[in-house]
Amino acid sequence: MNNKKIAIIGLGYVGLPLAVAFAKHFTTIGYDINKDRIEQLKQFKDTTLETSAEELQEAKLLSYATELADIASANIYIITVPTPVDSNNLPELSPLEKASIAIGSQLKNGDIVVYESTVFPGATEEYCAKILERESGLKLNKDFTLGYSPERINPGDKVHTLQTITKVVAASDKATEIILEQLYSKIIDAGVFMAKSIKVAEASKAVENTQRDMNIAFMNELAVMFNHMGIDTLDVIETASTKWNFLPFTPGLVGGHCIGVDPYYLIHKSQESGYYPQLITTARRINESMSQYVVDRLLKKLALSRIHIVNAKILVMGLTFKENCPDLRNTRVVEIIEELTNCHAQVDVYDPWADPSQALEFFEITLKSHIKEDYYDAILLTVPHKEFIKMGESSMRKFLNKKGIIFDLKGMLPSHKVDERL
């Protein structure tokens, strides 16, 4: 194992922690096409906050590259590029294709290519392998081999980290299985689970997030149902949670790079195989509708409070897709902001975790650094950042005018402290 040289392709939320971990044991090259990202990392700055400056400084065997020639000496390539969906919710494989073309151009006899990107079952062997063969002129399982190890990073989670989550691994032949099991065992304290096949490993990752998506959809439907019945959904969930086998998911917006995306990969492959999955598709439809539902609830509450939506001053607290994390990927809060703006409301956004430059670049949203007091008609609490919870209801009320209301999407505050909650 000492002669292994690893190249990590893509240094985002998944790739960078992986590169830092491997660099404790192996010569590792972190490759990314974003030159600004590489320069930041060389200065020990990680804008994702997944690794600390100290961890980057201690990664003595880690170097960085933006040119393919600089990773040609590697014999294990691990690809961690994003796999989003397009405007029609179909798999967008162009990042995966480009990465496969790039690695294929560098591939040598005896090399191993491992994919960690979330894909539909069969993508690694039926799609990626063909690109690698075409670009390299080599043959799978004769000249090079494949591995698949689905990422399980939970952005912002400092408890369930790369090292503490069981690593699923699969390979295209037995010899590569052994190598990858030994390789990942070096960095994963929780252990390695060898899947029966690459397709099984691919499917398992899609299923993990699809299960969460469906559970949240159930809670979102309950929120709509119970609102019509005049019952507080979170009170119901708290009560039901007293039973040992109840799963205490909560309603809310479903964004991010996984839960709102991976089910579409599973749906796509299932339809391609001849079966239209009804339950998964319905769950997706429910969760996709929640942004508009929140807006409708807010508009109704404003009307009942005799506050006209036109020129209403609304403060949205939280832009990232989840709490205590700077990740803005696929955040559904943006949809709420757009709809309120379309209703001619004056919307301000405050988020101490989000990067102001990214908010402006990706969404044309200028984040507020200071909140005016006695000013807003409504506060919409969208993301339960610890700063907001610590702030509490009394401090938030200072930002509101006399008629102002608080709408809490995530149960950050007790029900009797807010005017409306999901």
Catalytic sites, residue numbers: 258
Query: Token match 């020639």: residue?
Result: 69
Q: Which token pair is 10?
A: 């893509």
Six token digits for residue 211: 């299960």
Using CA atoms, how far apart are residues 268 and 315, in angstroms rounded to an integer? Answer: 38
Neighbour order of strands in the sheet with 76-79: 62-65, 27-31, 5-9, 76-79, 112-115, 145-148, 167-171, 192-194
The pair of three-digit structure tokens given for residue 232, joined into one six-digit string: 């507080």
| 137 contacts 111 by C-beta, under 8 angstroms | no
**How many CA atoms are closer than 13 Å to the CA of 53, on its beta-carbon side?**
4
Angle CA 284–288–292, to nearest 5 = 155
Residue 71 CA: distances (Å) to CA of 46, 184, 223 = 22, 20, 51
**Distance between CA atoms of 271 and 297, rounded to whole angstroms?**
35
